[in-house]
Amino acid sequence: MTLYVTRHGETAWNAENKVCGRTDVPLNDKGREQARALAEKLAGLNIHRILTSPLSRVRETAAIIAQKCPAPVQVEPRLIEQDYGILEGTDRLGEDCLNHKRMFAFRYPGGESMMQLAGRIYPLLDELQTRYRDESLLLVCHGGICRVIDSYFSDLTNDAFFHFSMPNAGLLTYTL
């Protein structure tokens, strides 16, 4: 199985360094352009299936990609971004946000912890490997989800996990 993983295109909140989380912020014009450029990059690959978060910024990114990669698109609820609770909409480089990001087992106030997030993403990845072992999949998701996916496939120190950053419309590839 080949697993391609991307983050949605840019939103206004991304441009403003705000925590998006589960707040359903749409793509901006730059985000749509990023998605079109990524679609061109992916066009020559034999992608069998595209799985997407239920949030609109991700579904729109996936729809743009699917115009060049004619694979079925299906919403996978477990790919929704981490719930950052009361920190949604705040400065993602703010002290509160950064302190919580360092504490993997600590829930964001009113949200979920990194460990809870991994608790839903790791079983999904196990399931995908079993169900689609002979296919190439594209997961269109969020920065926090990309971080956890990378930790599934790579040994990351706590510091590397903390500093992991996936650019909007960036692309990771894992071969299983």
**What confidence tens digit (pLDDT) does each residue in 81-97 have?**
999 999 999 999 999 99
Sorted by sequence, the CB contacts under 8 Å of residue 14 that are 6+ apart come out as 20, 31, 168
The residues annotated as belonging to the active site are: 8, 81
* Residue 38, token pair as written in the block: 């990524």
Structural domains of the chain ordered from first start: 2-175 (3.40.50.1240)
Query: What is the C-alpha separation between 149 and 2, in angstroms, rounded?
Result: 14
- Please give the mean pLDDT across all residues of the chain: 97
Range 96-106 average pLDDT: 93
pLDDT of amino acid 89: 97
Give the ranges where 75-175 is alpha helix by DSSP (H). Answer: 95-102, 114-131, 143-153, 158-163
